[in-house]
Structure 1
Amino acid sequence: MTETPRRRPGRPSTRGHLGSLSAKDPIEVLPPTALNILGGARRVLERDGFAALSLSAIAAEAGEAKASIGYHFGNKEGLIVALLDSLVHEANRSLIAETHRFPMGEQRVRALVEGEERIVEDIANYRPLLEILPHALRDESLRKRVAELYSGYRETVLEVLDAATGPDRGTLEPFSMLMIAMVDGLSIQYSLDPEGINVRAATALWERMMRAYLR
């Protein structure tokens, strides 16, 4: 008889606490069972919405034991946070890799804007985020976990701008907040009206503002 896996202590994390994205994708090191669970959760979310995201539904969709969710992710909240981060991690990791091909300057700023454009236009990944975020605002525990993810996204912008540490951090922290707000706001509008929203015109204006601010 196979022993039922016990719940792991603590909580899983797909990034360091309040840290920027690492070059290594933490999703890649998850065992096959955990990846199946993440995939099942995403399919349930996309097909049936957040309200249908029960442990039983996820386990059935993934073809895994319900106890495995607790073993790999701690609880439903841990799974939702891992799912949320997995939706955007690859795009943000690519953003770091692309921008760091260039020294800090005009080419890196251009690479940053192009990377954010790709994130905005990736409707398939953004719509599941829109399913999760309203619930995170109402659930205090989940809200704190998602807030940690957003802190990591801001750290990623600071890392791209070589301001994660040093004297420029205080000046550029508000800029990182606006950068995330711009991406989220454009993503929502583009998801609602992809034919009517000119993402490139908006990001071109943002790039001009960014260059003026960073001088």
Structure 2
Amino acid sequence: MLPLPRRLIAEGVGTTLLLSTVVGSGIMAETLSGGNVALALLANAVATGCILVVLITALGPVSGAHFNPAVSLAFLLRREIKPAHAITYIGVQIIASIIGVVLAHLMFDLPALQISTHIRTGPGQWLSEGVAAFGLVLIILGGLAVAPRAVPWLVGLFITAAYWFTASTSFANPAVTVARSLTDTFAGIAPASAPAFIIAQIVGAISAAFVAGIIFKGAE
């Protein structure tokens, strides 16, 4: 296992680039789509899926490429990461997510930090976030068990699909949710809507860790 500082730098850089892509591609998509929300969402989803493949391929061997407190929590529950390291990972992920949002804003000459006004709420969206986080964590754990080299593609493709099959457009990440509350652009979520999303994501991740332990037992 590589030294913790190197892993944290990888997590920070990866999470920053992920959020810059999520928010930046949303801004670009909304600007160029001429009001066509479906086209904007497609561009946002493809960009996010692509960057996940790239980042996980490049940084996975260094830090595990969690970029997501829900993923770190799942590995903690499986005792594959120490509690202190998991806490540190999550702290870095949250800070780096906010930095990524700021970078996206600055690249498009927008105010560095904003408060989102995009309300995302209701049982359907909460359920969607639980399903998205469950699917993401299950795919990661299953992929590591049966096809480790395919994990970057599995994650990228799952998130691209989940942008479309979930009512919430698949945040599936507590750090991303916090950071996206600080952008009033296409990717934003109002701060009041964020806690329910985060709770649903955590429940989904815990459920996936449990189910993966049953499905993939002995497959590693």
TM-score (structure 2 length as normaliser): 0.41
Larger Rg: 1
TM-score (structure 1 length as normaliser): 0.42
